[in-house]
Chains A and B, each alone.
Chain A
Amino acid sequence: MLKKLLEFLILWIIWTLLTWSLALPDILAGVVVSAIAVLLFSDLFPAEIGRLLHPRRLFWGLVYLPVFFWQVVKSNFDVAYRVFHPTMPIRPGIVKVRTSLRSEIARTFLANSITLTPGTLTVDCVDDHLYIHWINIISEDPEEETRLIVEKFEKYLRKIFD
């Protein structure tokens, strides 16, 4: 019940920020929409969200942001290079890597981070394996692939979420 109330408050605050109005009809509409969203999708919310407010986790979250942003910028130049190159240097394929992260939310963030970083796109996550579409395969050894794709994020995400 407490979890649902917290979710409701978060959603309602986001609604209020988006509408930027404290008129009664807007507030009531926000209450109705947030309540419906919580009732329908409450199970999808990560259960351990309150734990993430711990200062040590927030600190590692702040450390992670520039690392992540740098990877995103690199990935964009990588794609732009392949797009504009006359012969399109790509060696695509789907590889399988293993993650040691335990919680669902950590794996979600890992999968999303991998998608936004150079040449990789998460296709599926089954148990502790991730299937990743890689635009330029430079190694066919699963251990090497895991090291190249997953580990640069894992060390931060483990500190934030696990």
Chain B
Amino acid sequence: MSNLVIIFLSIGLFFNFAGCLGLIRFPDIYNRLQASTKCVTLGTIFILLAVVIHFGWNSISLKAILCVVFILLTSPTAAHAIARGSHRAGFPLWEGSIMDRYREDQEGETESAN
């Protein structure tokens, strides 16, 4: 493995680790989603880029690049679905939260009624 591959793998692992630690340390589901979507997305992308560099230009790299695109599209979408679903299912925000405009608007119901 070249040095560049090891550097990319290390960056990926560092951000994945930060994401997992955030999943444990942050107080409520919304903050945990923030940590897990952002860090795990970039961490996994760096690991896939390490795969691309290691294998050079062939079908494995092409699949890795397609996976990067899929992760970029699906990860924020899934986070949005989980956050919206949890809020509608009644999971509260952490008690230290500043405001919740989503609850004030009854999850958008008042908005669409206008």
Interface size class of A (residues with CB under 8 A): 35 or more
- Contact: A131 with B97, CB < 8 Å? no
- Contact: A17 with B66, CB < 8 Å? yes
- Contact: B80 with A127, CB < 8 Å? no
| Whole-angstrom distance between the Cβ of A153 and the nearest chain B Cβ | 13
| Whole-angstrom distance between the Cβ of B82 and the nearest chain A Cβ | 10
- Contact: A131 with B102, CB < 8 Å? yes
- Contact: A140 with B84, CB < 8 Å? no
A121 to B30, CA, bound (A): 8
Residue A20 lies at the interface, judged by CB distance under 8 Å to chain B? yes
14 further A-B pairs in the complex, CB-CB below 8 A; given A79-B38, A121-B37: A20-B59, A76-B38, A79-B18, A79-B22, A79-B34, A93-B98, A94-B87, A119-B34, A121-B34, A121-B79, A122-B80, A123-B87, A131-B102, A133-B33
Residues of B within 8 A of A (CB): 14-15, 18-19, 21-22, 25-26, 28, 30-31, 33-35, 37-39, 41-43, 59, 62-63, 66, 72-73, 75-77, 79-80, 83-84, 87, 93-94, 96-103, 105, 107-108, 111-112
Residues of A within 8 A of B (CB): 14, 17-18, 20, 72-73, 75-76, 79-80, 82-84, 88, 90-96, 111-113, 115-116, 119, 121-124, 126-127, 129, 131, 133, 135, 137, 140
